Structure 1
Amino acid sequence: MKFTVGIAMSPLEQLPELAKTAEECGFSSIALPDSLFYMQSQSEKYPYTPDGNRFWGPDTPWVDPLIGATAMAAVTEKIHFYTNVLKLGSRNPLLLARQVGSVAAMSGNRFGFGVGIGWAPEEFEWCGVPYARRGARVDEMIDVIKLVLGGGMVEFHGEFYDFDNLQMSPAPTAPVPFYIGGHTAAALRRAARVGDGWTSAMMKYDDIVTTIAELTKLRAEYGRAADPFEIQVVCIDRFGKSGYEELAAAGVTDSIVVPWIFDGLGFDSELAAKQDSLRRFADQYLEGAK
C-alpha cells in the first residue's frame, strides 16, 4: 500500500517545501483538494460531515489544485500529484483539458486527475452552469477530456458539448489516470465504468470495506475486473501499523494521510513542525524511508 500526503488547507507558501520533504521521505504522492470559493450561506448540506456543516471558514487557504501541482512538480523529481477531487460540474471541459494536459506535460507524467461532481449549487450557478442534470453532464465532460488528452485531431458531438475538429498540443506522452470520487451509487458506477481508480472523502473502515466490495462487483459487470484499479482512501478510524495492515488487506492501494494532524498540530502549523511530522511518519511506516 502506498501513502499519499494530504495538504488540504495548508498555507500556500509551505507547499513547495512540503512537497520536497514528502519526496525525500518516500511518500508516493500528494493529494490536492479543491474549493472554488466560500459562500456565506450554503443552500445544501456538506455531504462529508455528520451535521452537514463545512469544517473550514472564509479565510481558509485553498490553492487551485492544478496550479499547486505544477508549482510542486517544479521543485521535485519523483513524487506524484493528484486532485482529491477537482469538482468538474462547474467547469468547462475544453479549458480543463488544456490545463490537465499542461500539468501532465510539465510534471513529466506525474499527475493523476481525481474528479467529482461538486456538492454546492452555488458553485454551479455562480459559474454559469446549471445544477440540474449535473451527473449526466460530468459523464460527458470526462469523455471530452479523455478524448482531447489522447492527442491528435478530435471532434465531439454530444448532448451538452459540441465541437468540430480541434487539437491541443502537446498531448501527454502517457495516459493521465482518472480517479473518480464520490460515495453515492452513481459515483461508484462511474468509477467502475470509466475510472482508473476510486478516491474517497473521509470514511470509516467498515464503509470502505463495503464500498470496495461494491466496486469489485460493478467492475466485473462492466468487464473491467482484470484492469488495474486504485483504491485511494481517507480512513478516519484505522491508524498505526495494524490499522494500515487492515486497510491493505481490505484492498486499499493508497492511504491518504496528514501526519501533522496525527501529531496534534493544526493545518496552519509552522512548516518545520510539519516537516518533522512527515519524517516521523516515514520512519514508522514507509519502507526505505530516509
Structure 2
Amino acid sequence: MKWTLAVAMNPVDQIVELARIAEECGFHQVALPDSIFYSEKVSAKYPYTPDGSRMWTPETPWVDPLTAATAMGAVTSRIRFCTQVLKLGSRQPLPLARQVGSVAALTRNRFTLGVGLGWSPEEFEWCGVPYARRGARADEFLDVLQLVLGGGMVEYHGEFYDFDQLQMSPAPSEPVPIFVGGHTEAGLRRAARYDGWTSAMIKLDDLREVVNRLRQLHAENGRSEEPFEIQAVCVDSFGLDGYRLQAEAGVTDVIVMPWMFDGIGFDGPLAAKEDSMRRFAEQVMSRMDG
C-alpha cells in the first residue's frame, strides 16, 4: 500500500512544510488539488457531494499545483507529487506539456500527472475552451501530452489540436505517469488506457465495483499484465481494518489527511498537523506496511 498525503484547502504557507514532514514520516506522495477560480454562480452541480454543492468558499486557498510541486521538490529528496486532479478542460496541451516537463526535471522525475475533465461549464468557457465535446477533446489532449513529453521532434494533426514539427527540451528522462479521474463509464475507459485511476470521494462498496470494472477494461485493452494503480479517497473505510479492506478491494494508493481524524480542521496549526502525521505513520502506516 502506498500512502499519499492530501493538502487540499490547507493554508498556502503550510503546504511546503507539510511535504517535508510527510517525507520524514514515510509517505510516498503528496496530492495537490486544482481549482483556477471560484465563480459566484455555476450552471452545473458539483458531482461529488450529495446535494451538488461545493465544499469550499471564495476564500478557500488554491495554489497552482504545478508551482506547488516545484516548491515542495526543492525541500525534499524522495517523496513524489501528484496532481489530484488537474483539470484539462480549462487548459491547452502545449503550454501544459512545457509545465509538466519542467516539474519533472526540477523534481528529478518525482511527479505523476493526475488529470480530469473538469465539471464547471464556466471554468471551460471563461478560459476560452468550449464545454461541448469535452471528452473527445481530452482524449486528443492526452495524446498530445504523451507525444510531446516523449521527446524529439514531433507533430500532431487532430480534430482539436494541430501543429507541425516541434520539440520541447529537455524532455523528461523517465515517462511521467498519468492517472485519470472520473467515476463515469467514459472516465473509467479513459483511465484504463493510462497508468492509473484516481478517485474523488467514494464509498467502499462503490469502490469495489469501480475497481472490478477497471480490471475488465484494462484486460480489454490487452494490458492486464501491466501495472495499474488505484488511488482512492474512500470516505467510509478507515483505520487498520478499513485500509486492509481497501487493499483487498484493489486499492494500491490511499489518500489521507491524518489531522482530520483528530478533529483538526484545514486551518489548524502546523504543529498539530505534524503530530497527527507522525502518529498516523506510527500507528497505521508502519503496521500496515509491516
Query: What's the TM-score, normalizing by structure 1?
Result: 0.98
Counterpart CA distance in 1 for 2:218 and 2:230 is 13
Q: In the alignment, which residue of structure 1 is the partner of 2:247?
A: 248
Letter in 1 for 2:234: C
Number of the residue aligned with 2:34: 34
Identity of aligned residues (%): 67
1:143: which partner in 2? 143
Deviations 1:94-124 (A, max 9, x none): 0000000000000000000000000000000
- 1 CA distance for matches of 2:100 and 2:148? 10
Matches within 5 A, 1:56-71: 56-71=56-71
Instruction: Specify the code of the residue in structure 2 equivalent to 1:231.
Output: I
Q: Which residue of 1 aligns with 2:121?
A: 121
Aligned mates of 2:197, 2:119 — CA distance in 1: 18
Corresponding residue of 1:21? 21
Q: Which letter maps to 1:88?
A: L
Q: Which residue of 2 aligns with 1:198?
A: 197
Q: 1:55, 1:250 → 2: CA distance?
A: 27
Unaligned runs of 5+ in 1: none
Structure 2 gaps, min length 5: none
In the alignment, which residue of structure 2 is the partner of 1:84? 84
Q: Following the alignment from structure 1 to structure 2, what is the Cα–Cα distance between the partners of residues 261 and 35?
A: 21
Separation in 1, partners of 2:18, 2:137: 36
For residues 77 and 286 of structure 2, the distance between their equivalents in structure 1, rounded to whole angstroms, comes to 19
For residues 18-42 of structure 1, give each alpha carbon's deviation from its aligned partner in whole angstroms, at most 9, with x where no partner exists. Answer: 0110000000000001101000011
1:119-198 correspondence runs (5 A): 119-193=119-193, 195-198=194-197
Counterpart check, 1:102 vs 2:102: yes
How far residue 286 of structure 1 moved from its aligned partner, in angstroms, is: 1.9
Secondary structure (helix, strand or coil) at the match of 1:199 reads strand
Letter in 2 for 1:18: L
Tell me whether 1:232 sits opposite 2:231 in the alignment: yes
Matched residue, 1:11: 11
> Equivalents in 1 of 2:69, 2:284: separation in Å?
25
Three-state SS of the structure 1 residue aligned to 2:31 is strand
* One-letter amino acid of the structure 2 residue matched with residue 40 of structure 1: E
Partner of 1:34: helix, strand, or coil?
Answer: coil
- C-alpha RMSD of the superposition: 0.9
Letter of the 2:206 counterpart: D
Q: Aligned equivalents of 2:237 and 2:156: distance in 1? A: 45
CA drift of 1:287 comes to: 2.4
Tell which has more relative contact order, 1 or 2 (C-alpha 8 A, sep 6+). Answer: 1
Question: What amino acid maps onto 1:202 in structure 2?
Answer: M
Matched, 1:286 2:285: yes
4+ aligned runs moved over 6 Å, structure 1: none
